[in-house]
Structures are given as C-alpha cells and as structure tokens.
Structure 1
C-alpha cells in the first residue's frame, strides 16, 4: 500500500483556499497510482498534527502544495508533522520513520523543474500562435525580501525557458522586489508579450494587483504608445491552477528519497479503528451531529435533527466529495474550518456504499474516528496547552505569553462551540462515541483556530464571538 498526502495552507475564513488542493487530490486519485490520496492543512482539517493518523498505509509521501520554498515548507510543516527537521529541504527530500510509518517529505511542487512546462502551457493558452520571432515572456513572481529562496524558482524557470528558444526574450519580474513588474515597458521590446503569474491560485494579486501595476484592461491589452511601437500583452492564468500540476506532484512523489514501488503495509492501528467504526455503522450510529443508518448495502448520513424527514425533502449526494462540499459551510454559507463546531448544516442526505463510507465520514469529521478509537483504547496522548504554545513560531510565537485567564477566555468563546472535549486542558472524557455517546469526541491538542484566537487575545485585538483569520 502507498499513501500520498498533499499539504495546503488552508484558511479559517476563506473556503476557496483549499479548493486547488482538493482538485489535485481528485485528479491524482483518478489515476489510481496510490491506494489513497489525503489532504491536510495548516489552518483547516485534517490539521498537520492529525493528517498522518488518517493514512491507511505505513508508506507515506508528503508533498507541500506550495509554489516556492519558504517559512511554511521549511519550518511549519516539518515541525507540525514531527519530522525533526528545520531549514532548507534537500533536493531528494527527507525520510523519517514515525510511529511505524515511513514518511517521505519532498520539496514544494513549485520548485520542480517540470514547472517550466506548466508555464509554457499557460503561455500557449493565452497566445496559441506564439512564436520566438516576436513574442516575449514575463514570468511573474511575488518576491519577498524575507526569504532568498522565494525568487530563485522564478529565475530558474526564466533561465530554462530562455534556453528553450520558445520566446524572443524572457524576463523574471516581481511584485514585491526588484526588478518590479511595473518596469516591464522599459525592459520588454517584443511586439507581443505573454505574462504568466507564478502563483498557486487566483486571488487578489492575480485579479487586482498585477493588472493594476501593469495597466492591463483584460486578458488582452494593446499599448499604442510603447517606446518601441505598439505592444499587445496577453495575460495568462496562474500556473498553480493548471491540471498539469498533478503530473508535477506525481514526479515529485516518484523522486522522493527512499521511494519504494513495493509500498508498505496496512497500518494496523488505523485498520482496527475503522473496523470497529464500521461495526457500529452496520447497526446504525450517531456521530456528533450526524446520524448514520444502514440500508442494505448502502449507508445514509444525515443531520440527526433531520431524522424522520422525507428523503425527497433533502438534498441528496452520492459521493464522499459531495458530502464534503455540502458540509464545509454552515446554513448561512459561512466557511467551517473546524468540522466539529456545532453548526453542521441541515437539509441534506448522503447515500454511500460500504466502500465510500469511510471517506465520507473522514470528509465530515476528519481524524475523529482515529483519535476517538485511540482514546477508547486509552492510547491517545494529549498535548498540554503550554507545550503547544511553546512550539509556535513566527507571528504565533506570542501565544506562549497567554495567561491562564486569557486561554480560558478564548476557550469560553471558541471551544464552547465545539463538540470535542479538551483533553489538552485536563478535561476528562470517560466514554466516547465508540460506546454510543454521540458527542463524546476527544480533543488531544488545541487546534490552529484556537491558536489564532489566542494570538488575537494576547494582542488585545480579539472581538467577542470570534475573530476570522485568513
């Protein structure tokens, strides 16, 4: 067996932030090269601290779904996964044995050499008849003075494409460092110019900042008063949303340090947890706010408060992905970064096969089965708040200064909305949903939403009722 884990940043506020990672996971899943493809996030669920628990195999490859090397790929992700590594990741990645699993961690997909092919594909989409006689390419990066690795990938791709001979000239320009994107009229001489943003997704920069800085009015903009004559600029979509990124991810996984074609074994602890849960499901079980009912070879999941409502009065989905998409927002359309908040929307039902049920439950309540079963078996280890707080770095380092009163003030607001019991704060949970207590779900460690709220509390910026974080 082999498991592939795609790690994204995610957001406490914006549900679209995780969309690209979901799409790539589905594309790779369709290829059937891995027994499972799992997504994990820094600011959503399953969190970086949970995601390895959710993998079925003892052979796991982890790909950071980031456009360049930097703080998250070199510090946050390795730290939260417990890899015991900080700093630049070598080209072949790193490998560790964690809890019986072989975990391989690679460079982010954006630094792979084959990203040059993705840039070229985006350029051809924007200008199908481009030719080296009259067309210039601008590879446009974000840039930052905080990490010297951020711009390196832009220059490397520009060099490769310059050597390829596909363009009359190739330039690397940036939003936040020199050479700036606004200088393009001074450096580009060709009558046709293709601009490819080297960004992971569509967003404020690609939709607003770049067009404004370049004076673009749409996908095609004609400039009549350029010093070298009329120029036409073709604006491409960002590289990170192209389907070819899935191929780049697979290349990275195949090249990972110690990658094995044989794969690993089924993780025994994971298998036991799901075997026990499926036994409950066969009899019908309530998990959190959801009710799972067997119907022959199929299983129905619906909100427990919708029990007894006619099926034709509910929206029906028949895939785990459909269930995921339905329950990532509350009834007011707001994003649900914490799946165990007591705001699961009503008015739907999922009808899933025995094969799809585990993925559906995972999408509904990530890592809850694995952590619930571990607590049921007295093997779940809680991480006290001071340990979590001391581990934080960057803008979250200040949470280590939170007083007990501040921690409890945040918990009163945040944790009171959640189904979970705070083992990390010393609360007791004598029984779990494995003994048919629906809301008895353990919380072994403070989630990233809580950490973000604690930071706001320490900074004196938190508003009662919660503060949204991107």
Structure 2
C-alpha cells in the first residue's frame, strides 16, 4: 500500500448557491476518507460555495497534494474550471510551492455501474425488467463535448450488464436526448429514471422531477421534499420510478481513494 501519510487530499465539489442540501454528500465523502487515516490532511473546496477553490492552498500545509474532482464527468468543470482555478497545467504541477497531482473524477470509476444498478434495485426491486425502460440522466452542456461521455458510457454498461431491460437510454437536462421527452422514448409500461449526479440537490430534487412531469417548480430544498418516498408515479400513461442520486452511496469514499491510486499507477 502506498504511503500517503505525508500528503494532503483535496476533494473538489460543485456546490450550490441555491440549494442548502447540495454539499452534504461531499462532506460525507470527505469524512469517510478522513476516517481511513491515509492522508495527513483531507480538505474540501467548491466552485459555488465556501471554501472556494481559490482558498485551497491557504488551507493546506502539506507540500504534496492530490486533487480528486467529486464530479460525474471529464468535462467543462474538470477539464477547464478546476485546472484554471488551481493553476494546474498538467497531471502534476508545482504551484505556490506545492506539488499538486490532478486525479480523474469519481464519475468515470468502474464502480459507478454497480452503484447505478444498486439505485434501481433499491427503488424498484420487484419490477419486471422486460417491461421496463431505464433512463440514466446527466446534466449535459454545450460548453464541452466530453460532458456527456460518462452518462453515455454508463448507459451502455448498464445495458450490457442487464440485457433483460427493454431499453437503456442516456438522457440529459440540456441536450438531446432530453429527459423531459422520456415518455416519447419509452415503449414499455414501466420506466426507471436514475439521476447520475453526486448530490440530491437542485437538479435531482427540483429540476428533473419538473421535467419528468410529476413535480411543480416549488423551489423547496431537498430536506423539505419526499420525492423518492412516493414511488411509483402514475404519469403520462406509464408507471415511473425515480431513484436518488449516486452520491449518497458510502462507496464514494473508497472511489475517491482509488482515484488517487489510479493516478499514481498512471503517472508516478
């Protein structure tokens, strides 16, 4: 086992200025890693919350830092925003007198397929899969072509792992195939929708339920809603199950640690 006891781990999350529940999973992931005692320091920084990315180097004493993006995809934020804010110019950068290693995001880890399938099994354990269409939902953006890749890859892996489903579709909030058109792509009586997001926050608790058609745009935080306790929904002539986001899985702490080891195998 690699000795990381002299290094720091910086977990980077998106955060939100609109939903107070969005940052919860990130703190859980950091706590899970901290309990392992592998790193001298474990810190969090956010793009949309405090502490911000620009404060990261002021928080960390260690001279060697591993940065793991707690993001779903290799896209706009992981390839452009985080490197810009942390002044990174490659896999390893010496900046502000510290050696910084930039690891792959959690969402491309092989464990994601298992976690997504677990969400389905927990929310719709008795569903007839041959009568069911499975939708994996990501954000999507025109800012970076790679943003959709993780969602498409996971949909393909789920289709391979569970061929008994009638169909498995990658869908998006802001790109085709749009999740709001889910019923147009569902030829089965049942549908299961899995949000491929870290947090049960603004998107999974508010935006996607509105796009699916079973919620109004109330703007309430997650702690005040019972979205997942109401399954299944009878809507648009279908029986729809909606799962929680993948970020609540305890396994995410192990994934973060594994991405550090993946970086070391590939670059050190």
TM-score (norm 2): 0.80
| Superposed CA offset, 1:353-393 (max 9, x none) | xxxxxxxxxxxxxxxxxxxxxxxxxxxxxxxxxxxxxxxxx
Does the CA-based 8 Å contact 1:67-1:240 persist in structure 2? no
1:106 to 103, 107, 111: 103
Partner of residue 9, structure 2: 4
Counterparts in 2 of 1:130 and 1:3: CA distance versus 1, 3 Å:
farther
CA distance in 1, matches of 2:130, 2:72: 30
CA distance in 1, matches of 2:48, 2:174: 25
Q: By how many angstroms is 1:99 displaced?
A: 4.8
Larger C-alpha radius of gyration, 1 or 2?
Answer: 1
Partner of residue 192, structure 2: 194
Matched, 1:122 2:119: yes
CA distance in 2, matches of 1:116, 1:222: 27
Partner of residue 161, structure 1: 158
Q: Give structure 2 stretches of 5+ with no counterpart.
A: 1-5, 216-229
CA distance in 1, matches of 2:204, 2:18: 19
Partner of residue 203, structure 1: 201
Q: Give structure 1 stretches of 5+ with no counterpart.
A: 86-93, 262-470
Matched, 1:79 2:84: yes
Partner of residue 179, structure 1: 177
Q: By how many angstroms is 1:108 displaced?
A: 2.1
Q: By how many angstroms is 1:117 displaced?
A: 1.6
Number of matched pairs? 248
Partner of residue 134, structure 1: 131
Does the CA-based 8 Å contact 2:199-2:245 persist in structure 1? yes
Does the CA-based 8 Å contact 2:17-2:49 persist in structure 1? yes
CA distance in 1, matches of 2:204, 2:54: 31
Does the CA-based 8 Å contact 2:135-2:168 persist in structure 1? yes
Partner of residue 239, structure 1: 246
| Superposed CA offset, 1:296-330 (max 9, x none) | xxxxxxxxxxxxxxxxxxxxxxxxxxxxxxxxxxx
Counterparts in 2 of 1:219 and 1:73: CA distance versus 1, 3 Å:
same
Q: By how many angstroms is 1:98 displaced?
A: 3.5
Does the CA-based 8 Å contact 2:76-2:147 persist in structure 1? no
Matched, 1:48 2:53: yes
| Superposed CA offset, 1:229-261 (max 9, x none) | xx4211101123332222221221110146899
Counterparts in 2 of 1:139 and 1:43: CA distance versus 1, 3 Å:
closer
TM-score (norm 1): 0.48
SS at match of 1:49: helix
